[in-house]
Structure 1
């Protein structure tokens, strides 16, 4: 009798364990199915969002370029003061939209570029190209530019370096001091470890690092509300640099200026 009871207890315990294992298996499979479905939904939404942003940016770029071109060829001197103000507002709005589209395109490029081409590029040539985009500001504002490229050739991505220097230059121009002419110094050199150090320094408004140090390279972060900006330039800059194994840091002091230091691995390019 006791043996039969023991056998029944063993059988019941086996059934209970089997049932528990089966319930756990069902729950685990359900969780995995839900996770897979969530990943599929997020992937699909991300693709739709990227496609929408890509189409929007490209469809807006052509008419926007035409609008900016028409504003530029407009005979501004023939307008009265009222219409000059209207044209100035048109120009400001067009510039803001152009900057937004540029930032959007850069962020899409960061997400889509899985295989980024690295080549030896001339930093002085890229910097000259960037300066050409700011010819008007350089002359009207009397910007002083100083360069010292001890490392002329840099192993980097060409479009990334142009974007990085463009963002840094744009920030220097936007946040220049009203008390002195803008001075920008751009240099390259080798450090003790053989890495390439690119330094971009200005004497502009500067940033209060005690308040904003942890937010400098964040997305949609702005530190001077009286100047128009999207707040994504430094985010894109850091993302581009770190995606290639580099680093960026900043030293800044209010009303004295900012210095951005970019460390680039001095790799051999085949």
Structure 2
């Protein structure tokens, strides 16, 4: 009698286990189906968002370029002070919109990393090209730039490298100190692992790392509110570097400047 009872209990236990396993299987199946629907919906939304952003940036770029061109050919010196102030406001707004469209374009490019072209680049030539685009500010502000490219050839993506250097120089100019002329130093070398280390430093306003270290490379993060900016430059810079296996670190002190250390893996 005891054996029959034990057998019945055992069979009932096995049946309950089977039921529990079946329920878990059904729940898991429903969960996977739900996850697939969520992924499908997010993929669709992401695709539409990318299309919207591309169309917006593409359609805005042409008329904005025309607007900036018209502002540039105005006979500024023949205007009275009131109209000069109006033109200055137009120029400031156009420049800010141009910066926003540039950031948007960079964000779009970050999404298409499957076929990124890696090539052997001469950083001296790239740096010279990027610096030339800042010629007006360099001459007006009396900026000094010193380079020491011990490792001149770098395996990287050309548009990414140009974007990284553009963002670093642009930030150095934006956040320069009012107490001294801006000095920029850029150098490269090979570390013991054979990786290329690019160091970019300035003597500008600096960043309080005690307060902001964890947010330096965040999206829409700004640390000096009196300067116009979208707070995406360093986010884009880090994303471009890490997408190709590199790293970026920062050393900074308030009113002493900032140093960005970029490691490009061999």
Whether TM exceeds 0.5 here: the answer is: yes
What is the match of residue 98 of structure 1?
98
Any idea what SS the aligned residue of 1:46 has? helix
Within-5 A mapping of 1:108-257: 108-257=108-257
Within-5 A mapping of 1:50-89: 50-89=50-89
Q: Compute the TM-score of the two structures, normalised by the length of structure 2.
A: 0.93
Q: Equivalents in 1 of 2:91, 2:136: separation in Å?
A: 15
What is the match of residue 48 of structure 1?
48
- Give, in angstroms, the shift of residue 16 of structure 1: 4.5
Structure 2: tracts of 5 or more residues without a match: none
Change (3 A) 1:192 1:24: closer
Q: Deviations over 1:142-170 (max 9, x none)?
A: 11111111111111111111000000000
What is the match of residue 37 of structure 2?
37
Q: Equivalents in 1 of 2:208, 2:14: separation in Å?
A: 68
Count of matched residue pairs: 266
Q: Equivalents in 1 of 2:191, 2:33: separation in Å?
A: 52
Q: Deviations over 1:114-160 (max 9, x none)?
A: 13211111111111111121111011111111111111111111111
The Cα RMSD (Å) is 1.9
- Give, in angstroms, the shift of residue 23 of structure 1: 2.8
Q: Equivalents in 1 of 2:105, 2:156: separation in Å?
A: 20
Moved over 3 A (4+): 1-22
Q: Equivalents in 2 of 1:187, 1:20: separation in Å?
A: 64
- Give, in angstroms, the shift of residue 189 of structure 1: 1.5
Any idea what SS the aligned residue of 2:218 has? coil
Q: Equivalents in 2 of 1:151, 1:21: separation in Å?
A: 61
Any idea what SS the aligned residue of 1:112 has? coil
- Give, in angstroms, the shift of residue 252 of structure 1: 1.1
What is the match of residue 258 of structure 1?
258
- Give, in angstroms, the shift of residue 9 of structure 1: 6.3
Change (3 A) 1:3 1:249: closer
Q: Equivalents in 2 of 1:6, 1:264: separation in Å?
A: 68
Any idea what SS the aligned residue of 2:197 has? strand
Q: Compute the TM-score of the two structures, normalised by the length of structure 1.
A: 0.92
Q: Equivalents in 1 of 2:20, 2:103: separation in Å?
A: 54
Q: Equivalents in 1 of 2:5, 2:199: separation in Å?
A: 84
